[in-house]
Copies of this chain bind each other. A is one copy, B any other.
Amino acid sequence: MSRLKLLPLNLVLFFAVLSISETVAQEINSQLKWKIAYHKTESEIPEKWLPATVPGAVQLDVMKAENYKQPYWYADNFKQFDWMEDYFFSYKTVFKRPSLPKGNRVFFHSKGIDYQFKLILNGINIFEQEGMFTYVDIDLTDKLKDENELKIILMPIPKIKEAATYIPGSETYRQNARESVKPAVSYGWDWHPRLVTRGIWDETYLSVRKSIHLTDFDISYTLNDEFKNANLSLSLKGENLKGKRYKWALIDNKGSVVFTKTGSFNSNNEEVFANINNPALWWPNGYGAPTLYQSEILLLDKRGKLLDKKQSKVGFRKISMIMNDGEWDKSAGFPITRNRAPASLEVNGKRIFAKGSNWVHPEIFVGLINKDTYQKQLQLVKDANFNLIRVWGGGITNKESFFDICDEKGILVWQEFPLACNNYTNDAKYLSVLQQEATSIINRLKKHASLAIWSGGNELFNSWSRMTDQSLALRLLNSLCYQLNPQTPFIYTSPLYGMGHGSYVFFDKDNSKGNEVFQWLAKSDNTAYTEFGIPSVANLDVLKQFIPSNELFPPKKGTSWETHHAFGAWGENRWLELPFLEDYFGKISSLENLVIYSQLTQSEGLKFIYEEARRQKPYCSMALSWCFQEPWPTAANNSLVNWPNAVKPAYYQVANACRPVLASISAPKFLWIEGEEFSCELYLLNDTYDTLKSGTIKVSLLYDDKKVDFASWDFKEPKQFENTKGPKATIKLPVMKNGLFIIKAEVVGMPQYNSTYTFLYKGTSVTYLKSSVSNN
């Protein structure tokens, strides 16, 4: 009965996200000019104060002020920040006491200070916090002088005792994160340098609030079983509200008012109820419009004068995680174990196929990420025909604008808590910080229509992490999600039993299911492919930006190729995969050809995986590639989008493979030899609930300058959310000059469903030319 000293339950509510009255409250942010300094001990007086940018990062401020090498992502410039890990950093600002109308109060508000810090006002410690995801909101009013100095002292980065020393190249340094709620990725990953960023990383300002104001609100609803009716409930909280009036209006996406509810406050808490018939539902991309309603809450005095205002969006939808189709029918002999875990998403009563990718970081310095960053990348997500992104547990929980944009674009969000590839401790101190941070995250995100899945973190139940169903951190997260947001599915981690992670290369030499992706995936039967990847070299222009020109070709260890993860990132040849490329394509003689061949394998490999996962529907329910983007320019990586926002060719192939409806072929391999008979199975893939017409698919071989039609298939009207399987198509491969050939599947009269596939050919008279490669 050794009892952990956890936070009492009633404290859970204390951490509820504060919704600041942005509209009416006066922000006096513009007054604040910040400076920054570093020091070896907490009490040491810094030698100098440097200009600081807020939000930002301590590394960037010092870099700019002290003439460090720039840009930070060039070559191995990131190493110049190593010394900062064990230093204290202090932010400082001075401001005059604002002249306040009677009853008004001044708050210090920050949406994110990374990671452990103290707030010092006029020399007095007024607040401490560990954790970057819990908003800080402190009433300064009674402590203000005419002239004020506000200081924020950041503690050194968290490290575990056993691994306090940074050992370059060590694969275990991510373990430093296992006693903190700081995202593990910055301690180093196979695509991320060791660069532990820190600082004020989200909006931070002083705010003046009236004595009468709303502090918080929560809109919840219940959809009936037929999704024809929504019962809404608004919970309002504020100060000095008694006798004041509220006016709550819901406005549809055409601007029409659906209802208005008015009433008076009897206390500082009020519950308001409403009901709407036939709500326009929120649908993920590919299944309908992501309809959002606008909620507007006005606080009025008796004469109708506006005192405060809250606006938010509401999307009506129900998301469940249900058993994969067919899993309950699988029969197993005794001794029988449990069935696999459900991994199929149902939205508004319809099973969907989740297509998407793993979202890591758009930017290594998270303080630089803004709404525009998110807007651009999430538009790419949507344009790729994706409907779900898994926000991977190694990174941050994103800023609010991320979720607003996902709501608007119909992108489902699988949100992981900040745990990844570690055995996070059962110690009470860690659990209390995690409880605080998770509570903040849950309360902030739960109002978003795009929120689809909570997950404890990344790969926690695998041997390299060694957490289990018994780990207290995961039981805590499950418990908090159950208490605060039970209607959203919760999983402990990915992969769960039945889900699959990997492989991450085109040619997996140790895979018992076969070496090429065409083989190892086709022989798998996972419920959901929640990570898989094929690496490629970065785009040529990206490479040239950060690799010194004398290192560009041939790629070598010990150069920027290695620090940017083309060598030894994970195994000797990750992620460049040079032996495989030269085995397939012959000696590679130029950087241009390296880029082309590498990106071709990524394109064709990923296309195969997305389409094969869809062919395995209905049992299979998801295809989420590793990974969508990257936080700095890698030399080689699994990403679809190069830092900062440059799409690789594979992106387009993946977008094609994720079209709601398309013709698809399944070939047994990528590499063909002269004289072989090429064969493939034909499919019409359909993830929609649309009514589709019958049609004809013609299949042809394109090689050298020739085109040979070799198969035709009349498919019948496809059923809703069902693929249609066609016949096998074969053709004896002719002798070719060009080492690549193309198979094209054309849907007569419906070219939007056409698909093309490039294969590698080895024959006696082949020459490999740059011009021979086409990614269509």
Q: Which A residues fall within an 8 A CB radius of B?
A: 1-4, 6, 9-10, 12-13, 219-223, 233, 318, 320-323, 328-330, 333-339, 341-342, 446-447, 461-463, 466, 468-470, 472, 475-476, 478-479, 482-483, 486-487, 489-493, 495-504, 508, 510-513, 520-521, 524, 526, 529, 532
A462-B336, A478-B475, A503-B335 are known contacts. Are A468 and B220 too (CB-CB below 8 A)?
Answer: no
- Nearest chain B CB to A221 CB, angstrom units: 6
- Nearest chain B CB to A577 CB, angstrom units: 15
- Nearest chain B CB to A470 CB, angstrom units: 5
Add 8 more A-B contacts to A3-B221, A321-B468 (CB < 8 A): A4-B486, A9-B13, A328-B463, A338-B496, A470-B489, A475-B478, A475-B482, A475-B490
What DSSP secondary structure best describes chain A's contact surface?
A: loop
Q: Chain B residues near A330: list those with CB within 8 A.
A: 463
A2-B318, A328-B466, A486-B4 are known contacts. Are A336 and B511 too (CB-CB below 8 A)?
Answer: no
CB closest residue in chain B, given A6: B486
Whether the Cβ atoms of A472 and B496 lie closer than 8 Å is: no
A463-B329, A486-B475, A511-B333 are known contacts. Are A2 and B221 too (CB-CB below 8 A)?
Answer: yes
- Nearest chain B CB to A687 CB, angstrom units: 21
List the 6 shortest-distance A-B pairs measured between CB atoms, nearest first: A335-B500, A334-B502, A334-B503, A479-B479, A338-B461, A2-B222
Q: Chain B residues near A472: list those with CB within 8 A.
A: 482, 486
Whether the Cβ atoms of B220 and A3 lie closer than 8 Å is: yes
A321-B470, A342-B468, A482-B476 are known contacts. Are A1 and B221 too (CB-CB below 8 A)?
Answer: yes
> How many subunits of this chain does the assembly comprise?
2
Q: Chain B residues near A318: list those with CB within 8 A.
A: 2
Whether the Cβ atoms of A479 and B483 lie closer than 8 Å is: yes
Q: For A334, give its contact among B233, B447, B497, B508 (CB under 8 Å).
A: B508
Whether the Cβ atoms of B220 and A341 lie closer than 8 Å is: no
- Nearest chain B CB to A222 CB, angstrom units: 4
CB closest residue in chain B, given A1: B220
Whether the Cβ atoms of A2 and B487 lie closer than 8 Å is: yes
Whether the Cβ atoms of B334 and A500 lie closer than 8 Å is: yes
- Give the CA-CA distance A169 to B601 in the complex, in Å: 61
Q: Chain B residues near A478: list those with CB within 8 A.
A: 475, 478-479, 482
A333-B512, A470-B490, A511-B334 are known contacts. Are A339 and B461 too (CB-CB below 8 A)?
Answer: yes
Query: Can you pick out 19 interface pairs between chain A and chain B where the beta carbons lie within 8 Å of each other?
Result: A1-B221, A1-B447, A2-B220, A6-B486, A9-B9, A10-B10, A321-B470, A333-B508, A333-B520, A334-B501, A335-B495, A335-B503, A337-B500, A337-B501, A337-B526, A338-B493, A342-B468, A342-B470, A472-B482
- Give the CA-CA distance A223 to B4 in the complex, in Å: 11
- Nearest chain B CB to A67 CB, angstrom units: 46
